[in-house]
Chains A and B, each alone.
Chain A
Amino acid sequence: MAVLQMQRISICALKKERKPILEKIQALGLMEMNQVDQEAAEYGFEKQDTMVMRQGFDKSVSVIENALSILDNYAPIKKGMFAALEGKPLVKDEDFNECVQTREKETLKAAEEILVESKKIAEYKANLVKLENQKEAIKPWLPLDVPMNYGGTLHTAMILGSLAGEQDEAGILSRLAEHDIDPEDLEINIIHSDMDATNIVVFCIRENETKIEDALRSIGFSRPSNMISEVPDVYLTNLNKTTSELEDKIQEAEGEIKVKSKYRQDLEYISDYYRLRSDKYQVLGTIPQSTRTFVISGYTTPDGARAIEKSLEKFEGCYVEVEELKEDEEPPVLLKNNKFSESVEGVLDSYGLPHKGEFDPTFIMSFFYVFFFGLMLSDAAYGAIMAIACFIVLKKFPRMSSSMHKNLKMFMFCGLSTVFWGVMFGGYFSDIVDVVSSKYLGMAAHPAHIPAVWFTPLEDPMKLLIFSMLFGLIHLFVGLGIKVYMDIKAKAISALITDFSWYALLIGLIMMLLPSGMFRSMSNMNFNFSPVAVTVSHILAIVGLIGLILFAAADTKNPVLRILLGLYEVYNITGWLSDVLSYSRLLALGLATGVIASVVNKMASMPSGVLGVIVLIIGGCFGHVFNMAINILGAYVHTNRLQFVEFFGKFYEGGGRAFAPFESNTKYVDIKEEN
C-alpha cells in the first residue's frame, strides 16, 4: 500500500567468515549496499582492491558468452514462440554447486576450445575466399599446356601476356605491322578472349624477343603480374584439392563445436557462477576491512533486516545492528502493494518512483487505471480474449520475470474491466450478433440483439461525453485529495488553504454551470437548484477565489507580488478546464473501437452463401485482431497519459531511486536456496 520504510543495517563480523556471509546476503537479495567508508576509515579500516579479480571473472564470463553464441550458431536449440515468457529455470543449489566444484575448469576449457575452433573456421573461410579468387584468375589461362613462366627453348622465346579488349590474330598482326614487325617473324596463339582482355602467347626467335615485346607493349600488351610455375590445368586441380581439404577441415571444426554442445548447460551455470562472483567482488571492493574484521552496511526493510539477522545467527562473532535512517539520507524506494494494485507498479515505475516522503499513488491509481482502460476499449469480446489470453500465459509460464508478470496481470484486469464496459454498452465484437443473425440465421426482419445494460454510446454520445468528464473530474479531485493529504502530513497550512480554495472554487463554478441553459441544451439534463443552493454556489466560488488570490503565493513577502501571483494561480482554471476536456478521449476511443469493429463486421459479411461464411470467419478474425491490437495500444497509451499528465499533475513528482539489492543477478538460472 505504500513505500516501504527503509532502515540502515550494519553487519560487523570476522574476516574468516567474510565469504559465507557475503554469499548469504547475496542469496537473500534483501539489502542494498551503501557503505560507511568515512566513519570506518577513521578507525583504520581499509578497502581491498578487487579490480584484478573482477576483471578475471568478467573475462571468463565474456569467454563463455562468446562460446555460447558460437554454439547457438552451429548447434542451435529450438526455442518456442513464448521463450521470452518462460523465465529462468529453477536449479537446486546443490546441483549448481556440484557443477561449479567438479566441472569449472573443464567447462572453461571447453569454452576456450570452442573459441579456438571457431577462430580456425574463420581462418579457413578466409582462405577459401582467397582460393576462389586464385581460381578465377587462372581460368582464362586454362587451355595453356605449359607453365606460365615457361620462357621457351634454346632458340625460341615464349612471350605470354594479355591485351586489353577482345582482339583477333589478324588485328594484332596488322597493328604490329605498324611498328615494323614482320608477321612472318612471330606466331600468335590466342588462349582466351573476352570483352575485357585477350590472353595471348607469342613465339619468336630469341634474337627478335626484345624487339617484338617492345612492339607488343606499345599496342597495350602486358605480362601477368602473377606468373604461375605450373601448368594452369594442374594448378587448378591442386587448388580444387586444397579447397575440398579446407572444406573438410571446416566440417571437422564444426563437428568439434557440435560435440561441445553437451556442455551447454554447464557453460550456462559457470557463466552465472562467474557473474555472481564478479558482483560479490565488486561489493567486496567497497567494504571497509581491518586486519581481522569487516563491516557491511546498507539499506533494507524491517522485514529484510529480521530475515538477514536470522540467517546470520549461526555465524560466530557476527554483530548486526539495525537503525533508523538519518534525516539527510535519501533512501532507495521499494513499493509494496496488494496483489491487485501491484500490477500497475510498472506504469508508475515508467513515470518515476515516489521521492522521499512522497505518497505512493499505486493503490488509488490501480482502480482508475483499470476503470479507464476498460472504458476506452469497451468491447466485451475483446476484453474476454485479452483477459483469457493473459490468464493462460500467466498460468502456463509461472517463472517469467516479475515485471512481466505484473504487466500481464494488469492487462488481465484491464481485460475484465473491458468485459464489464462491453456489457454496459452492449458491444460484443461490436454488433456481430445482429449481423450474423440477420444475414445467416434468417432473422433479417428481427435480428437478435444483445441490448446494452446501460446505453449505446453511438446513439447518445453526449451522454457518455458528460459521464467521461464526470469520471475525469472525480479522478482529478481524488488527485487533489492526495495533495491535501500530503500537505497535512507536511503541515503546510497555506498550501492546504490553496487546495481547499480550489475545491471550493471548482465546486462553486460547476454548481453555477449545471442549471445554465448551455449545459441543458448540451446534455438534455435539467438541474433546478433551490435559491439556497445557488447562493451556496456563489459563496463557494467567491471564497475559493479569494483563498486562491491570498494564499497561492503565501511565501512571497511583497504583498503586491503575492496578490499578482495569486491571480496567476486563478488563471490555472483554464488548466483544469483542459484537464477535464482531456477525458473526452474516453468517449472518442470507446467509439473508435466499436465503430471500426462494426466496419469489420459489415465488410466481412458482404458476400453471401457458403463463401460468405468463410469470408466472415477469416475476414472477421483478421479484422478484429487488427482492431483489437490497435485499440489496446491506444487504450494503453491514453490511459497512461490520463494518469501521468492529468492525475499526477495534481500532486505527484516522482524521481525516487529504485531499491537495487545486492542479489544473485544471474542470466540463465535461478538458484534455489536450501535452508
Chain B
Amino acid sequence: MLGSNMGLVYALLGAAVAVFLAGAGSAIGVGIAGQAAAGVVTEDPSKFAKVLIMQLLPGTQGIYGLLVGFITLSKIGLLGGSPAEMTAFQGLLVLAACLPIGIVGLISAKSQGQASAAAIGIVAKKPDQFGKAMLFPAMVETYAILSLLISILAVNAIQI
C-alpha cells in the first residue's frame, strides 16, 4: 500500500516543506521586526500604523509558502478528496519544485525581518522618510518572489 503510492507522500512532503519553511521564516522575521516596532510604540504610540506596516513586510514569505502548498495540494488532488496516482519519480519532482520557496522563504524572511527592524529605526527618527524606509525590506523580498515564481511554474509544469 505504502509502496504503491509513495509519490503522493513525496508530493505532500513538498507542500509541507513549502508551508513550513517559509512560514517559519516569516514568523522569525515578523518577530524580529515586531520587537523593534514595539520599542518605537513605547516612545511614540502615534507611529503605530507606520511601524505595523513595516512589521508586516516579512510576513509575505509565509503567504507565498501557503500559496505553493495550496497549489501543490490541489495539483495532487488531495483537496478534492481523490488523490492522484503518481510514481515516486513524479512525487520527488513535486518535492523538488517546492524547495525554492521553502528555503529562500526561510532565509529571506529572516533577513527581511532584520532589514525591517532597521527601517523601523528610520521611521522612529524620521517619520517623513517612510517611503524610502519601506523600500529596504522590499528589496530583500524580491528574491522570495523569484523563488516563488520558479516554484509555481515548476509545480504547474509537472505532468501528473
Binding site for B on A (CB under 8 A): 347, 349-351, 458, 461-462, 465, 581-582, 584-585, 587-589, 591-592, 595-596, 598-599, 602, 630, 633-634, 637-638, 640-641, 644-645
Contact between chains at B53 and A588 (CB < 8 Å): no
- Which single member of B59, B63, B135 contacts A596 (CB below 8 Å)? B63
Q: Is B71 at the interface (CB under 8 A from chain A)? A: yes
Q: Which residues of B contact A465 (CB under 8 A)?
A: 149, 153
Contact between chains at B139 and A630 (CB < 8 Å): no
Contact between chains at B146 and A584 (CB < 8 Å): yes
Q: Once bound together, how far apart are the Cα atoms of A350 and B134, in whole Å?
A: 10
Contact between chains at B138 and A351 (CB < 8 Å): no
Tell me the chain B residues, 49-73 only, with Cβ under 8 Å from chain A: 53, 56-57, 59-60, 63-64, 66-67, 70-71
- Which single member of A350, A584, A592 contacts B63 (CB below 8 Å)? A592
Minimum Cβ distance to chain A for residue B62 (Å): 10
- Most chain-B CB neighbours within 10 Å: which of A458, A465, A595? A595
Q: Once bound together, how far apart are the Cα atoms of A588 and B141, in whole Å?
A: 12
Q: Once bound together, how far apart are the Cα atoms of A110 and B143, in whole Å?
A: 61
Query: Interface extent on B, as a size class?
Result: 20 to 34
Q: Which 6 A-B pairs have the closest CB atoms?
A: A350-B131, A585-B145, A588-B145, A641-B138, A595-B67, A637-B138
- Which single member of B53, B60, B146 contacts A581 (CB below 8 Å)? B146
Q: Is B148 at the interface (CB under 8 A from chain A)? A: yes
Q: Once bound together, how far apart are the Cα atoms of A347 and B134, in whole Å?
A: 12
Contacts known (A465-B153, A633-B53); A638 close to B70, Cβ less than 8 A: no
Q: Once bound together, how far apart are the Cα atoms of A431 and B142, in whole Å?
A: 28
Q: Once bound together, how far apart are the Cα atoms of A644 and B79, in whole Å?
A: 41
Binding site for A on B (CB under 8 A): 53, 56-57, 59-60, 63-64, 66-67, 70-71, 79, 129-132, 134-135, 138-139, 141-142, 145-146, 148-149, 152-153, 156
Q: Which residues of A contact B66 (CB under 8 A)?
A: 596, 599
In the assembled complex, 23 residue pairs joining A and B whose CB atoms fall closer than 8 Å, in A order, are: A349-B131, A350-B129, A461-B153, A465-B149, A581-B146, A584-B145, A584-B149, A587-B149, A588-B145, A588-B148, A588-B149, A588-B152, A589-B145, A591-B152, A592-B60, A592-B64, A595-B67, A595-B71, A599-B66, A630-B59, A637-B134, A644-B135, A645-B135
State the main secondary structure of chain A at its contact with B.
helix
Contact between chains at A641 and B56 (CB < 8 Å): no
Identify 5 new A-B residue pairs, CB closer than 8 A, beyond the known A584-B145, A630-B59, A634-B60: A349-B131, A350-B130, A350-B131, A640-B138, A644-B131
Contact between chains at A461 and B56 (CB < 8 Å): no
Minimum Cβ distance to chain B for residue A197 (Å): 40
- Which single member of B64, B138, B152, B156 contacts A638 (CB below 8 Å)? B138
Q: Once bound together, how far apart are the Cα atoms of A73 and B104, in whole Å?
A: 50
Contact between chains at B153 and A640 (CB < 8 Å): no
Contact between chains at B70 and A599 (CB < 8 Å): yes
Q: Once bound together, how far apart are the Cα atoms of A11 and B132, in whole Å?
A: 39
Q: Once bound together, how far apart are the Cα atoms of A644 and B145, in whole Å?
A: 18
